[in-house]
Structure 1
Amino acid sequence: MMKKVATILKDYSTEKIHMNGKVVNLFTHTALEQVSDEMLAMMYEIMPIERQLKAKRYRNKIDKKLCIISYALFVLAMQETFDIYDSYEFTLNEHNKPFLKLFPEIHFNISHCRAGVSCVIADETVGVDIQDIIKYNEKLAAAFCSPKELKVFHNAIDKDLTLTKIWTMKESYFKMLGTGLVEPLTALTAYEVGDFYQKINLRENYVLTVAIKTIRG
């Protein structure tokens, strides 16, 4: 049986989010500086070989760290939510979105950025995006915002935050669909798709957004 990850990866937070009659379990870890090399080595040992190889390919230390913590947080979420301590065998859809081969009824999604790592688990298709707050500029906004979304910036007090909120809505929405960013982002107005859960942390400089299948699309 796999070791309880909560004894290794600490300083994480959990939330039960109620969205459109569904419950989403959200796990977040932002205390990256508290994760020592020894803790990383212990988490690395519980990773399957293909995930270990992926972590090894990262040349940047922070990217390797985020890769390892992402998997550990997923395992922790499975242990804490479903009391499942087995090894996890993954399969991919045609767009390379991972699913659990032995637990097809469990849906999950993982995201990370420089601020931290997040993982969501639910009994319905779900997507999550955590993003460092993006610096606003007109060309970037025009590249992925719809005409309706661009109008929002006219009265926005904090354009950086507004841009990041829109981006994470779109990212989590397409991650929920499991298709990747397959249509022109400017053709989709995020706040017309449905309801999202958003968490804004200005102290740690990130926005986190969750989307679930019950969103209209």
Structure 2
Amino acid sequence: MGVYISEKIWDFDLQAALAEISEQRREQALKFKHEQGQRLCVLAYQLLKEGLRQEYGITDNPIFDYNEHGKPSIVGHPKIYFNLSHCKEAAICVISDKPVGVDVECIREFKDSLVNYTMNDEEKAEMSRSDNPEATFIRFWTMKEATAKLVGTGITHDVKSLINSTKYKYTTVERQRYIYTVCEYL
């Protein structure tokens, strides 16, 4: 499995990068209203291209097919699994020979209503004991989102029960301003 992450959101020529990606991804990037969203969308795709080149020798722009819940796969490469995510601080891509999910989120304040909707009692208790409840919340949230992306359904059912350490393996990394989690089947 390869994890590719970049915080260099503003360190490339957006117009040149848009010209080097697939038309499909360019259209998706240009749907973002603000330049930062466009850059993050392009950067995540560039990370995928880099990973495909390094791990598989693939140099063509990948074209995506999507399942009914929006989970992408690469046309012509059914045995290559990947997942993309971005937040305002970073973009990430994970590539594997097995299904995989990833989420990256900025550490920030949260509302109690969101905690009550998304976290179970054990998670809430851990957050209340934490020296940094914001980071603890984001750690749990990225685990839940990465799980939903691994399964390929998105968050369509009980969010409180998404984390399952007997079924999934989680790798969570905390950086100064964001946290990311990679989720795989055991």
**TM-score (normalised: structure 1):** 0.80
Residue 209 (structure 1) aligned with residue 186 (structure 2):
no
Q: Secondary structure at the match of 1:50?
A: helix
- Computing the radius of gyration from Cα coordinates, the structure with the larger value is 1
CA offsets 1:108-145 (integer angstroms, 9 cap, x no match): 00000001100000000001111101314422211200
* Separation (CA, whole Å) in 2 of partners of 1:58 and 1:87: 20
Moved more, 173-182 or 57-66: 57-66
**Cα offset for 1:41?**
2.1
Alignment-derived partner of residue 10 in structure 2: 33
Alignment-derived partner of residue 52 in structure 1: 26
Q: Secondary structure at the match of 1:32?
A: coil
Q: Secondary structure at the match of 1:157?
A: coil
Q: Secondary structure at the match of 2:10?
A: helix
In the alignment, residue 185 of structure 2 is paired with which amino acid? Answer: K
Moved more, 153-162 or 47-56: 47-56
In the alignment, residue 75 of structure 2 is paired with which amino acid? Answer: K
Moved more, 169-178 or 39-48: 39-48
* Separation (CA, whole Å) in 2 of partners of 1:134 and 1:190: 24
Residue 124 (structure 1) aligned with residue 101 (structure 2):
no
Q: Secondary structure at the match of 2:55?
A: helix
* Separation (CA, whole Å) in 1 of partners of 2:115 and 2:3: 28
**Cα offset for 1:162?**
0.5
Matched residue pairs, number? 186
Residue 158 (structure 1) aligned with residue 132 (structure 2):
yes
Using the aligned pairs only, state the percent identity. 25
- Structure 2 alignment gaps of length 5 or more: none
- Structure 1 alignment gaps of length 5 or more: 1-23
**TM-score (normalised: structure 2):** 0.93
CA offsets 1:155-198 (integer angstroms, 9 cap, x no match): 11110110000000000011011111021112344556543101
In the alignment, residue 184 of structure 2 is paired with which amino acid? Answer: I
Aligned residue among 100, 106, 112 for 2:86: 112
Alignment-derived partner of residue 62 in structure 2: 88
In the alignment, residue 151 of structure 1 is paired with which amino acid? Answer: A
Alignment-derived partner of residue 200 in structure 1: 174
In the alignment, residue 34 of structure 1 is paired with which amino acid? Answer: D
Residue 187 (structure 1) aligned with residue 161 (structure 2):
yes
In the alignment, residue 114 of structure 1 is paired with which amino acid? Answer: K
